Amino acid sequence: MNVALKTRILPAGEAAVAAAASCLAEGGLVAFPTETVYGLGADAANPAAIARLYQAKGRPAFNPLIAHVGDLAAARRIARFDTTATLLAEAFWPGPLTLVLPKAADCPVADLATAGLETVAIRVPAHPVALAILRAFGGPVVAPSANLSGHVSPTTSAHVQGDLTGRIDLIVDGGAVAVGVESTIVGCFEQPMLLRPGGLPRAEIERVLGRALAQPPADPDADSGQPLAPGMLASHYAPRTKVRLNADRVEPGEALLAFGPAAVPGSDGAAAIMNLSPRSNVDEAAANLFGYLRALDTKGARAIAVTPIPNHGLGEAINDRLRRAAVGRD
Ligand code: TXA
Ligand code: MG
């Protein structure tokens, strides 16, 4: 972006909600808190605003966006809900679940936001500020995570400011988010498919469905020529510092990202140490994950050594993000 924008920062409240709604209506870009991570919103029906959004994030335009709406009735104007989709929406919305569904005939979401796919990703966020903005604006808002493309998702407004000041119009500061990892994405295809593990644990979805979620094919591009979850690039969510997984000790000069109460050998020589959850709670670890990665990324460490994290509950999403952070950074 050539000319730096003046980015306003407002504390969450009635004035911020009104400012956000009018900014969106004018084609502006507004960062706001959701329960998962901060989102960067634009009017889903305004292609010029969406083009600005891709540019502000440095995001490839083949990576489609999630449309955020205030309730299931609004979602039904965008997409076609079969019985499975209705079941999941009624069970988990508002909440950290995104559904990928066939577009409705007169879907108002611009093709640019769906990267030309026949499907659209939708969610109803469970955050009072996000819902108030959606209600005040009155239409669907596309919102990727409010970080520069490829960077770690923001869980505080300070993270958003660090990445996007001068590139967007408004940041609504609603404090730290509760969940800390992005929404779980389920494709409502013939077989409901887990496209991205996230803030809603797989087991809760499978309990409601009464069956296991299908896994995406190992190489989703192979059959259809179109990726099922185009944003799931192998290297994503990456701090600048190399990430080393499943560490059972810290090498000199490494930073340590620990989990649980156990002492980690070599800690004395660590450049920095943070513990995602000393009491081994995966929900607490998810809430801390991106903030701690950002903090350890500033320590000038040789690498960030991460101890093993159990895969149950939100652990699946944590391990997914950590694997992506570790890819291709040796
Ligand atoms: O928790 C979240 O989901 C946050 C908050 C802000 O709501 N948003 C978020 O958006 O994580 P983003 O853009 O960072 O991730 C959206 C993901 C991408 O992996 C994208 O490829 C996928 O959703 N996606 C969007 N539309 C899709 C579609 N029609 N089919 C398959 N995947 C889709
Ligand atoms: Mg993102």
By three-state DSSP, how is residue 95 classified? coil
Query: Taking 60 as the threshold, does the pLDDT of residue 234 lie above it?
Result: no
Cα–Cα distance for residue pair 109/60, rounded to 1 Å: 18
- Count of other CB atoms within 10 angstroms of residue 221: 11
Cα–Cα distance for residue pair 167/133, rounded to 1 Å: 20
CATH 3.40.50.11030 for domain 243-326, yes or no, is yes
Give residue 279 CA to ligand 1 midpoint distance, Å.
31
Q: Is residue 188 very low, low, confident or very high in pLDDT (cuts 50, 70, 90)?
A: very high
Give residue 107 CA to ligand 2 midpoint distance, Å.
23
Whether 289 and 212 have beta carbons less than 8 Å apart is answered as no
For the annotated binding site for L-threonine, the residues are 36, 68, 123, 143, 183
Give residue 15 CA to ligand 2 midpoint distance, Å.
27
Query: Taking 70 as the threshold, does the pLDDT of residue 236 lie above it?
Result: no
Kindly identify the ligand whose nearest atom is closest to the C-alpha of 123.
Answer: 1
Q: Whose CA is nearest to atom 33 of ligand 1?
A: 229
pTM flag (> 0.90): yes
Percent of the chain with pLDDT over 70: 92
Name 249's Cβ contacts closer than 8 Å, sequence gap at least 6.
264, 265, 266, 305
By DSSP bridging, strand 304-306 and strand 141-142 are unpaired
Where are the chain's structural domains?
Answer: 8-224, 243-326
By DSSP bridging, strand 170-173 and strand 184-188 are unpaired
Supply the CATH classification number for the domain 8-224.
3.90.870.10
Query: Taking 50 as the threshold, does the pLDDT of residue 199 lie above it?
Result: yes
Q: Whose CA is nearest to atom 27 of ligand 1?
A: 121
**Closest ligand 1 atom to 198 CA:** 1
Same fold, 8-224 and 243-326: no
Mean pLDDT of 176-186: 98
Mean per-residue pLDDT over the chain, rounded: 93
Q: What is the pLDDT of residue 284?
A: 98
Q: What is the pLDDT of residue 224?
A: 45
Cα–Cα distance for residue pair 99/220, rounded to 1 Å: 18
Pocket of ligand 1 (CB under 6 A): 34, 36-37, 39, 63-66, 98, 100, 114, 117, 119-121, 125, 143-145, 182-183, 185, 195-196, 228-232
Ligand 1 mutation pick, 155, 182, 195, 290, max ligand atoms within 8 A of CB: 182
Cα–Cα distance for residue pair 249/252, rounded to 1 Å: 10
Write phi, then psi, for 64 (nearest 5 degrees): -70, 165
**Closest ligand 1 atom to 181 CA:** 1
Q: Whose CA is nearest to atom 19 of ligand 1?
A: 231
Cis before 217? omega within 30 = no
Greater model confidence, 299 or 235: 299
- Count of other CB atoms within 10 angstroms of residue 8: 15
Query: Taking 90 as the threshold, does the pLDDT of residue 60 lie above it?
Result: no
